[in-house]
Chain A
């Protein structure tokens, strides 16, 4: 697809031989191809428009080098643009407070509980004492699921199976952690839709009550055009600090990553790429840009295989 795109772009440039630089005229068709490739990769329609307009501006007047084809050159410009859009550098999570509190939020089935387990394992490995709080009081067997993961990674889970108040459970978990001298509490919450007012109010209340130093929005990397709406609403309500992209072990292009970054301007901090507790990594903007353009995030997966 990456090669595809540059081949397509070359074709679009073909009938424009003899033009030494990228001009308004010869860039129009190629920009359209790029836009289509982005939309095929699930980048939001509007975001794709904005991004390709920027790419167009950046490429106008640039001299076409002899050594590369114009198509390759535009792909390079596109990739650089996407990379810088996604943040350029890695950003860490903030672990502050006594105990430090990390709140996990997102849609149903996005991978929150699995990520909670993974993050706990990672922090434990770094030598921190961690506790997980089971604040999903709705999904059948949600508490059991977190407990199984807790056993797998050797991290205690705080739960109150009879309590139907997520705010209370979260607060009690933190008090318990304090008493036991745990340094970090990771709070797993129920999946919820952005349009579910009652559930959005609940998580806003949880956040208010526990004052996390880090709130993470977990999103399925296969998400389509709707990613922007969801991310925006969650961000409006929670002002989250970062994004976790899950299920990147699939073959999705992951264009949602670009849309979300562009719309809420929050960094992507982790990627999750499997069901095993080790399948967690920090985010590499350049790899993601390549993936969206069709090269696949092969490098980071191969390294870990």
Chain B
């Protein structure tokens, strides 16, 4: 990273000899946030908060401004409701099997994230099971089976074009009967504006609950880090259909910043749990607020 491109540096230039945050600095900030996909609304919110704080705390130098900025953006990211998650673990005290339902629009990285999580959970000593409930997308079952083979995790499948709810039910049942710790259910990608497909998700959830009332313990919405403002609509509609409880952002190994999750996390109070940083099995990280905010301000 070339430091001459950093926000701090630009801000320094803009505020030399000035005692307040002026238009130039705020414009600069606006550009950084918007080009990271933070969105106009959230960007304005951040800028207002900074203006307020600067007025209140008396702004002195760029170091302070940088700190304030990071604090304000980090402040918009919801906390993990479960205990501090520093690693790939399920909450202590959760009933078993811990059922995770993975949802999202087409091609965001649901299946791949499940594959990566399988490996991480397994490494932690958990007994993991997968449910191949994407019975629609061409070769979706083959894809998750290959991830199962790769990570040494069994996959419950009824084949293509079967009822996804039945797969989810069987996976939950098998997990309960055979003492699995975690079961992850893969679902077909679906656009949030398709009512039938969203209803199908609600049904999958209900069917699992028939068997394990407190399940699914986690409904994870996977967002593609290169998605723009449409991700907000995705969060809204998937939350309506299934009460999303966590987020994963993928493809952050590219130049996209994934800034749209800042507003999403703030608006819907859903914590970001994982980030995808590649296609390989190890390319998954537990979300770290500070690192994420840092990366937003790196050019």
Contacts and interface: CB of A to CB of B under 8 A. Distances in A.
Interface stretch (A8-16, A35-43, A61-69, A208-216): A35-43
Contacts of A110: 107
Interface in A197-229: 220, 222-227, 229
A145 interface: yes
A30 B107 CA distance: 37
Nearest to B228: A224
Interface in B235-293: 251, 253-257, 260, 279
Contact of B106 (A109, A148, A251): A109
A135 to B, nearest CB: 16
Given A145-B138, A224-B260, A229 B107 contact: no
Most buried by A among B147, B226, B233: B226
Contact of A251 (B227, B230, B253): B230
A249 B227 contact: no
Contacts of B85: none
Interface string B182-195: 00000000011110
B35 interface: yes
Contact of A40 (B40, B137, B142): B40
Contacts of B192: 250-251
B129 interface: no
Interface stretch (A71-79, A96-104, A136-144, A280-288): A136-144
A155 interface: no
B35 A45 contact: yes
Nearest to A138: B279
B97 interface: no
Interface of A is mostly: loop
A250 B139 contact: no
Nearest to A148: B138
21 contacts: A42-B228, A42-B229, A45-B31, A45-B34, A107-B251, A108-B107, A110-B107, A140-B143, A140-B147, A144-B138, A145-B138, A146-B138, A149-B138, A222-B230, A224-B229, A226-B257, A250-B192, A251-B191, A252-B230, A253-B229, A275-B106
Interface of B: 31, 34-37, 39-40, 105-109, 115, 136-140, 142-143, 145-147, 150, 191-194, 224, 226-231, 233, 251, 253-257, 260, 279
Interface of A: 36, 39-42, 44-46, 107-111, 113, 138-141, 144-149, 152, 193-195, 220, 222-227, 229-230, 247, 249-253, 255-256, 275
Which 10 residue pairs across A and B have the least CB separation, nearest first? Answer: A224-B228, A109-B107, A42-B228, A148-B138, A144-B139, A226-B256, A140-B146, A145-B139, A141-B142, A141-B143
Given A42-B229, A138-B279, A249-B194, 4 more contacts: A108-B251, A144-B143, A223-B227, A275-B137
